[in-house]
Amino acid sequence: MITQHQHYINGAFTAAGSTSWIEVINPATEALLSRVPEGTQQDAAAAIDAAEAAQPAWEALPAVERGAWLRKIAAAIREREPELTATIVAEGGKTQGLAQTEVLFTADYLDYMSEWARRYEGEIINSDRPNENIFVFKKAIGVTTGILPWNFPFFLIARKAAPALVTGNTIVIKPSELTPNNAAIFAQIIHDIGLPQGVINFVYGYGPEVGQALAAHPKVGLVSLTGSVNAGIATMQAAAQNVTKVSLELGGKAPAIVMDDADVELAVKAIVSSRVINSGQVCNCAERVYVQAGIYDRFMSTLIAAMGEVKWGNPAEQADLDMGPLINAAALMRVEQKVAKAWWKAVRWYSAVNVAVARDSTLNPPLSPACISRWRSCAKRFLVRYCRS
């Protein structure tokens, strides 16, 4: 029987306001894993109301007591590590080693943030007037919300919740609709350890419905999103209605630059690791590689050989894989389109280079013989990079 999860609101597993369900699919096998409710704006509002009601009592606790709750959550996570690792592998296609690292690092992060109960402080500022001091007290924001990605879904729960909780805030979290099962286990953990109701709430659903509601609600003091640039823009627009604080962590386009004096083997190792971790689905992966001409051929031959050694497959079946599947069919289609576009550009350049050679290199501006040679090589290797003399 397929598991059907419920929202976790005000310390209870709660039926959704909608009768629609979102199916959670194993990206490696395309098997149905579970269903989560397709949350509504009303579900989000109910969770925000619960967080608002819980916040004053939570803030009234000494910070060290709030930190102690984080340590309790961390201990419970470590007890359920095998289950959580298997869940992340199944719903996210992550390799077993990386999934386990995510689970244990999440516990470590909660422990780390618990220590900030002793570290964050106010200030005493000297005044310009005699016999006066200015005291700065740090107060909780109130209700916060977190909108999560699918690539590191479990760790991001802690990234959003732990700083909020230790400083006296409460939170409503929307997991990604692609990877919500680990969040359901997190909800069960906080329920089992007796975390005060309403301090952490989970609402499932899609970004345009639930995510926007969590950003636009007037009771929310801060919304934090990790995701795409477009999702970040939409979140800022929704939060702007109430001038709500916004914290965004969005995708990147980081280049790797390899110079002539580089250790080629080390550079290749780093670039391959960056590209295959989580099947390349990490915001700080190297998206482009620029190589100085003097080591280009050596770099390319070393890179091609290293990529040929990458082991991939169904991560649930093998523990020593380097790479699992992409997150879903849509992601696969996007990559196929990029490869097709790159191949098309390479063929055009290869044809143009041959014409240029036949015409005595009369392209405007002309290409150098070394550049022409490199372009021929690139075209044959399905690589595309604009090259001028």
CA 46 to each of CA 21, 43, 228, 299, 329: distance values in angstroms, whole numbers, following the listed order:
19, 5, 27, 56, 33
Q: Under a CB-based contact definition with an 8 Å cutoff, are residues 84 and 51 in contact?
A: no
Which tokens in the block code for residue 69? 């709750």
Active site residue 378: no
What are the φ/ψ torsions at residue 173 (nearest 5 degrees)? -115, 135
d(CA 374, CA 297): 9
Please tell me which residue in 81, 283, 287, 387 is annotated as part of the active site: 283
Q: Of the residues 249, 287, 371, 387, which is catalytic?
A: 249
Q: What is the DSSP string of 165-186?
A: HHTT-EEEEE--TTS-HHHHHH
249 is a catalytic site residue: yes
Read off φ and ψ for residue 146, nearest 5 degrees: -130, 130
Strands 143-147 and 170-174: parallel
Contacts of 90 (CB under 8 A, 6+ apart): 26, 33, 181, 316
* Cα 114 to Cα 121: distance, rounded to the nearest angstrom: 14
Catalytic residues: 249, 283
